[in-house]
Structures are given as C-alpha cells and as structure tokens.
Amino acid sequence: MPVSHQNALREDGKSNLNVGGTSNNNDMSDGMASGTTSAALVYKLCSHIIGLSSDVLTPSYQLALRTLSCISTAAIESDEFEVSEKIKKRLVKEKKEEDAVRFAELHQKLKGSIVLKNRWAVLCFLYNLTGLSNKYQTKNGPHGFCFAKFTMTSPLRNVGFTNTSKSYSNQQSRAVSTGKSLCTRTGSEKMVFTSLPSSYQLTHSGGSVDQGHGNLTDSGNGSVCSNSSSSRVAHMAALFSDREKLEGILVPVTTKKVISSQVQKQGSRTSNELGVPLLPESILLREVLFAFQGIDGKFIKMQPGKDKFHIDSKAGICGQVRRQLLRLTELGWMYNKVDKFCESQSYNKTLGLVGQSFVAALQEELSEYYRLLAVLESQLHNDVSTEGTYVSTRSGSLTLHQLVVWTLDPFVRMKQLAALIDSCHGQKGGALASTLYSYLHHADPSIHGLVRHVLSVVVQPIYKMLSHWIFSGELEDMYHEFFVAVNPSVPNTSLWHEKYSLRKTMVPSFLSLSQAKKVLCTGKAINFLRMVCHDHTSVRPRDEQTVRADASTESLFNQDQDSDFQRLLEAIYKETSCHVLKSMFAHYKFTDHLLAMRRYLLLGQGDFIRHLMDLLHEELPKSANMLYLHNLSGILESAIRATNAQFDSPDILQRLDVRLLEASVGDSGWDVFSLDYHVDGPIGTVFTPQCMNAYLRLFNALWRSKRMEYILSGMWQAQMTYSRLLRTLPGVLPILHYCHFILSEMVHFVQQVQYYITFEVMECSWAELQQKVVSADDLDQLIAAHEAFLDCIITRALLDEQSKDVMTQLCAIYDLISKFQDIQTEFWQQGLDEIAANKALESQVNAKTEMGKWGVTEAELEVRRQKQLEFKKKTVPTTKAQLCVLASSYQDMVQKFLLMIADHTDPNLRFLSFRLDFNEHYKSRNSRLQTSFTYQHRRRYVK
C-alpha cells in the first residue's frame, strides 16, 4: 500500500500539507502530496526526528520512503493476540512483570476503544521498537564454545550475507564501521556463526539505542573505539527517559561480567596451536556433512592413495576438534564403501536376482541415511540463514557434539552394512543368503532388525523361485542362483534321474539338506507327471493364493520359531508324491510289472520255465549262429499258451520276448539264450537300463543252474531206466554204481545251491522289496528300494565283482556236470548198443531156429563175442577211467568251493557250506576243511 500511495503522490504533484508541528519545509512541501498522506507524514517524521533543514533531510527522506515501499515483510503475524503475547513475554523476560500486567490492562482498554482501526499494526510497531530487553540474551549452549566462537576473528569476512534489504546491510555496515562493542567486532562474521544471531539482533534491533549502549559498554570496558565519544553518549542518554538511562547504566555491569568471561575464553580460543585463526564451527559442520556423503570439502578430503579422510593440516582446527572430526568422518568412509559397492554391483550383469535385491536393501538403508543428512543440512542452513531477522533466539542449532550424538545410530548401522558387504563379496544366490543368515544371530536388537530386514529382502527372490518350483514345477532361474539345477539336454526318458539336480553350494544354510531334497523331489514329481506320464491334472486343487498366505519369506529363515514353511513343504511334498505313486501303481500298474519281472526273468513261474526248457531242449544245443529268433519266439509263444502264464494280462505277455546275446565262437544256444522284458514310459523310470541289465544277468545265472537241474534230473531218469537194462552186461555194474554215486553227489550239490539262491537270496529280498514298495513315500524311495533289492540279490547270488572267484568255481562245477552228462550219455549209448546188438543176435538166433537153421553161425558169434569183449575190455574201463577222473576233479572243485564259501563274509553262504557238507562227506577228504572255522583260522585264510 505504501507503494501505491507513493505513486499517487508523484502523480499528484501538489497538495495541502496539513501537518502539525514543524513546518519549515515549504520547499519540500511544494513537491509533496496533500496533507495527511503517508508521504507527508513520513516527511514530518523525518524532520521531527532529525530536526534539520530540508536539503539534508532529502536523502533520509528518500531513504525512508524507499524503505517503506520496498521492504517486503516476511511472515509477520497479523495477529494482534500474538503480538500482545510477544510483548508480554518480553516484558516478563526482563523481569518486569508489573509492566506486563499493566500492559495487559492497557491492551484491554485499547480493545475497548473503537478509535484505532489497525491496532495490531500499532502494537507491532511498538513491539519492534522495544529497546533493551534482549541485548544480553545470548544463546548459552552447554559449552563455552559459543562465546568463544563469536569472539574469534575470522579470516573469512563477508561470507554469505543473506540479507534481504539494503537498509539492513547499511545499518550493519554502519554498525561495523563504528566499530563498537565486541558484537561489532564480530559483526562481519555474524553470517557464519550460528550462535550469533541473537546477539547481533540485540545490536541492531535497538538501533541507535544499542549504539548508545555499545558506547556505554565500551566505555565500561575500556576498549573504546575511535568513533565513539562521550558527548554522543551524553546525547544518547538525553534522548531517553530516566528509566531507560538507568537501565542503560545497569546494563554495562552485566555485560562487563559477560565480556570478561568472554575475554578469558577468547584468550585460549582465538587461534589453534599453530597460531592459525580457528575455523568457525559451521564451516566445520559443513565440511563434516560433505564428508558424510563422501564428497571432498575444503578442508576434509579423501586421500587419494590411502583409503581415509584427511584434514588439511593448515586449516584452523585445533587438535581436539580434529580428532572429533576424524571420528565423524568414519561414518563418511562407511558410507563411501556401501555406496561404491552398490554402484559397482549395478554394473555387474551377472549379479542375479538375489544380489540385486541385496543392493536394493542397501539402497533403502542409504536413503534413510540421506534423509538424516538432509535434516542435518537443513538445520545447518537454517541456522546460517537466520541472521538478521527479527525472530527471537533459536535454540538447538547444530554443533559438532550434537552431530556426534545424532550420527551414532547411523554409524552403527552403516558399519554393519559394510561388514555384510565384506563378507558377501562375490557371492550370489543361496550362498549370499547363507552368509547373511549367519549375521542374523546378533544379540543387539537394532542390528538384528537391520539384518533381518536385509535378509527378508534378499530371500524374496529365492522364495519366489522356490514356491514357483514346488507349485508348478517350473524353474525361472536366469542367473543360476537357485539350488535346483536343470540340465535341459536330458531327454524325457531319464527325466527323473538326470534332469534335475541339487546345487549344493546354493542351498541356503537355513534350509536343511533334507528339506532341499524334498523341494527337489516335489518339483521333479510335477515335471515327471507332466512330461512322462502326460498327466496334466493339477496336483494342487487348492488355490495357490491361499497357500501363499500360509508361509511368508520370513518363515523361510525363521524356522526356529516359525514352522509355517516346513508345514507347507511337507504338505506339498506329500500331495505330489502321493499323486505320482498313485499314478504309477494304478495307471501304469507298476506292481504288476514288478511281479512279471519276478516270474519271468527271475524264473518265478516254475511251470512256464520248465515247459520252456523242455521245448528248447532240442533247439539250444545247436551252435549259436544256427538259432533263429523267430523260431525261438514261436517256442516261447507255445510255452506261454501251454502253461499258466497265459492267464497273465496281455500287456505283460506282449512285453516278454526272446533275446539272443552276443555269440562268440563255440557258443551253443544255451549260452546265448535269454528272455527279455520291454519297459517304457514311467515304468522305465524305475526299471532303468542298468536295472534291466542286472535282471538279465540274474536270468542268466538262474537259467544256467536251472539247466543243470534239468540235466541232472534227465540223467537220473535215464539211470533209472537204463541201469536195469545194462545190469546184465558184464562189468557194467560197478560203473553203474559209480555213476549213480556221482550223480547223487551232483544232485545234492545242485539242489542245495538252488535252494540257497531261490529261498535265501531271492525270496527274502523280494519280501523286503514288497514291503518297501507298499510303504514308499515317493518315487525316489521306490526307485531306491528296487535298486537295493537288485543289488542285494546280485551280491548274494555271487554275481558281483567280489564273488567272481566263487562264481567261476561254480561254473567250473557246472561244466563238469555237463561233461558228466556227456560221458553218461555216451556210455548209455554204448551200453544200449551192446544190448541191442545182443538182443539182435538173440532174435536172429531165434528167428533162424524158427526157420530150422542153426541159430547162429560161428562167424557171427565170433563177431558178437569180439564185440562183447571189446565192450568189456575197452569201453568199460575207459568209461570207468573217465568217470574216475571226473569224480576226482569234481571232488576237488566242490571242496575248493566249499572252502571259499566257508570263509565268506556272508553268513548265509557259510550255512550253505554246512548244508552242503552235512554229513562231512567232503570234510573227511580234505584236511583243511577239517580245521574249525573259528576266527583265528579264518584270519589265516584272509586273502
């Protein structure tokens, strides 16, 4: 409004000056506006106060006008109540309570009158002109610091005046130039000192009053500046009421006290040890704040070579403060470290999701830190910029000590973060989570909270991957951070065994290995169902959302207290595995196939095998390359049809087939024949090719021993029929007896061995397998049980590597048996020939006699007799010799076999040896067998 007035003024030109009081300003008044306008009043004011002629007045007048027009007020409360309160407060502060009461009364009266329109303006004006009260209301911090500081001289003059108005600066500079009190000495630095504003306000809010007082103090102090003069003092004193003068006089006493104390401190604090003038606190604070952000300030810089902050030794900082600053800059160092880590990791392309979330958590912490820094900086800025306003004293502006206290907590946090970074360097995925987890067990709750927060952020990607895997069997792992690894090149047939594996390094330490295995199994099962069984039904009928609510990421690493995750995992695992097993048993008839294996490949179906052998008996003795597969398959078919095997399901029968092994030279059909069973699809997961190999080997061994049995039984039959016949031949009886003897030995042996294999080896293991199959929890267990079964059988049937000697021995025995069969058959043949020849002769004789001729000619008889003699003399002894040899070698072999198995670690084999030698038939012939098989003796035989 004053502006508009002024403009109006200029436009108006002339107007009446209706001014009371002094009117010797007609010259001016011509150019002035009419009477009671503001300008005129101002002019009057000027003239009144200064009381000079008009030309001297002009500059002041113009200045006044300018001031009034261009000063913009900042945040003046146009609230009368507030102003009055302020006034009262001030009065109370000065311990003038009665005055305050009086003022309140007057104010009430004023309110009552309607004359004044702009009460608050008047009050405000009066308030702003109040003089003396706050002069010595310095900001007494808990340290003598503040006093010390503002008595220091500073090499930095005129630093950053933030004044808004020229008049202020004029006033200030005038104050400076008059060079009065201690305040003015430090007037130039007032912008920089945070403790100064109030004291400075005192100097300038009183205006001339302070000057007067300044004079007084100076005079009291003795450190009078040149410009002051006692005369002015006198004049000043005359200007004021008595009361003020009293106060004015009172004041120097107190200031003297204050100043003297200040002087004392001043002596120790004007400069640091080197004599360099000390830096003001706010500069140091600013430097420290820069250091907190890792930026080099003017005096505190990061040393390029070493990794630490360095304070410029030439700066005006004393030793104690220096150490304090260095302590504070440690926080900046920590910050640097964390920040650099975050930055470097952001360029790392192989960082992976877990690493990225770690960086994100760190950056969250850093933003908290920035917030704190922003608060500190704003406070510092505010303190600096409150110079020169009318606002009353600020309490709580920043000092170094406050900074130390406030940065204590961030310091601890930053330190922890730096420690985390150090330990996690170069790790990723689950390994990173494990490292962070190891920091979780910290007793300090704030650190615990911090690490917990970081860990929960870091674990989120892992949890996501995990839940995705166990719910839908899919692996979204671009950076290979998850502990389940997939090998995409593996085909579906071996999906279960080879496609998915456990990456042990990435298993976080808060998950146990069994849990990790369960996770792997669950996901594998889902994939198995989908790919191999083509079963796309969802394993989880429940909504995934509800399940997600069951467990959170925290429960993953909080498993001591929170078993949500474990429960979830168990539930899913059970469901999925059950589904798989159900599908295997019900849909793919796993048990049926297992049973079929047992019946056919392991010779369980006795009648079928026997019949097959009967049928193949003529075919197989042929040499191997003469065999044709289709012939054999035809035989197989007929065997199936003729026996109980035909009642099996056609699917199983289809899979049964003949297989011819590789034939080497001299092999007969017996060596190359084998049955085969085709497996595919999900069944193939359990019956892997290795398993099938094992089955075939077993079949081979069992088939061979079966064949021996078959041979022996055939021989026995032959013996029964032919021995009666051949008894009549001379010299044959001992041979027959001997053969019988050998045969029964062999029969006993083979029977015992068969018994052992069938009952002790196979049936027991089979029972175990059946049990395990029924109680299996998941496919892995099923597979394991099956493999264990096969391993066990193979070992105990002497088919594995260790029992090779024993097996060879057994095979040798079998060979002997076949040889015996050959000898036997030959002997029968010869014997039968002989008998047949005899019979023929007889019949011839009979026939001839019938015909009335001589029965037999002499020649024929002679031939006959020759033959007989030959038979008696040659065939019989040779056969006997052969048999002897055979028998003795058989004995040796059996004894050796007995020795081998008697020392065997398997107790069942030892029992076999007892059974084989139940009547000590072999023991009596072998001294070694006679020694008892106690521990000592066995030790001697250890190979």
Partner 1 sequence: MADSGGSGSTASTILQAKETFEIIQEISRLLNTGLDTETLAICVRLCESGVNPEALASVIRELRRESAAVKAGESNH
CB within 8 Å of 419: residues ≥ 6 apart:
439
User: Which residues lie below 8 Å from residue 842, measured CB to CB, with a gap of 6+?
Assistant: none
**2-12 and 54-70 helices, crossing angle to 10°:** 140
CB of 250 to partner 1, least distance (A): 13
Residue pair 376/403 in contact (Cβ under 8 Å)? The answer is: yes
> Residue 697 to residues 218, 700, 793, 799: CA-CA distances in angstroms?
119, 5, 11, 8
Residues 466-495 that bind partner 1 (CB under 8 A): none
Whichever of 171 and 219 has its CB closer to partner 1, that residue is 171
Nearer to partner 1, 76 or 549 (CB): 76
Interaction pattern, residues 112-151, with partner 1; x per rule: CB under 8 A: -xxxxxx--xxxxxxxxxxxx-------------------
Q: How far is the CB of 188 from partner 1 (least distance, A)?
A: 19
Q: Min. distance of Cβ 186 from partner 1 in angstroms?
A: 20
Per CB under 8 A, the list member of 13, 31, 51, 155 interacting with partner 1 is 51
Nearest to 916 by CA among 941, 935, 891, 938: 891
Is residue 553 a contact residue for partner 1 (CB under 8 A)? Answer: no
Cα radius of gyration (the chain): 58
Contact 394, 197 (CB under 8 A): yes
Closer to partner 1 by Cβ: residue 164 or 505: 164
What tokens were used for 485? 């690894």
Cβ-proximal residues to 298 (8 Å cutoff; 6+ apart), any chain: 283, 287, 312, 315
* Cβ contact 722:739 at 8 Å: no
727 binds partner 1 (CB under 8 A): no
Residue ranges in 367-406 that form contacts with partner 1 under rule CB under 8 A: 390
Minimum CB–partner distance for residue 230 and partner 1 (Å): 11
Q: Does 89 bind partner 1 (CB under 8 A)?
A: no
Separation of alpha carbons 622 and 627, rounded Å: 7
Which residues, in sequence order, are CB contacts of 121 under 8 Å at separation 6+? none
Distance between CA 552 and CA 574 in Å, rounded? 20
Quick note: the x/- pattern for partner 1 over 244-283, rule CB under 8 A, is x--x------------------------------------
Taking the least distance from each CB to partner 1, the nearer of 60 and 324 is 60
CB of 238 to partner 1, least distance (A): 10
Residues 188-227, interacting with partner 1 (CB under 8 A): 206-209, 211
CB of 259 to partner 1, least distance (A): 23
Contacts with partner 1 in 159-188 (CB under 8 A)? 167-168, 171, 174
The count of chain residues that interact with partner 1, using the rule CB under 8 A, is: 79
Number of CB atoms found within 10 A of residue 299's CB = 23
Nearer to partner 1, 40 or 398 (CB): 40
Contact pick of 9, 87, 259, 798 for partner 1 (by CB under 8 A): 87
Q: Is 109 in the site for partner 1 (CB under 8 A)?
A: yes
Tokens 């900074």: give the residue.
403
Binding positions for partner 1, 222-251, rule CB under 8 A: 229, 231-232, 235-236, 239-241, 243-244, 247
User: What is the closest distance, in whole angstroms, from the C-beta atom of residue 263 to partner 1 in the complex?
Assistant: 28
Residue 192's contacts (CB-CB under 8 Å, 6 or more residues apart) are 154, 156, 159, 160, 280, 282, 283, 384
List the x/- string, 801-820, binding to partner 1 by CB under 8 A. --------------------
**Among 29, 44, 189, 746, contact with partner 1 (rule: CB under 8 A):** 44
Q: Is 45 in the site for partner 1 (CB under 8 A)?
A: yes
- Residue 674 pairs with which residues in a beta bridge? 659
- Find the shortest distance in angstroms from Cβ 23 to partner 1: 12
For position 63 contacting partner 1 by CB under 8 A, the verdict is: yes
Q: Which is nearer to partner 1, 228 or 262 (CB)?
A: 228
Pairwise CA distance, residues 365 & 357, whole Å? 13
Among 67, 223, 754, 895, binds partner 1 (CB under 8 A): 67
CB 232, min distance to partner 1, A: 5
What does the alpha-carbon distance between residue 797 and residue 792 come to, in Å, rounded to a whole number? Answer: 8
Q: Which residues of 474-487 are buried (b: 16+ CB within 10 A; e: fewer)?
A: ebebebebbbbbbe
Which range touches partner 1 (CB under 8 A), out of 67-75, 317-325, 477-485, 656-664?
A: 67-75
b/e 588-604 (16+ beta carbons within 10 angstroms → b)? bbbeebbbbbbbbbbbb
Q: Which residues in 650-709 contact partner 1 (CB under 8 A)?
A: none
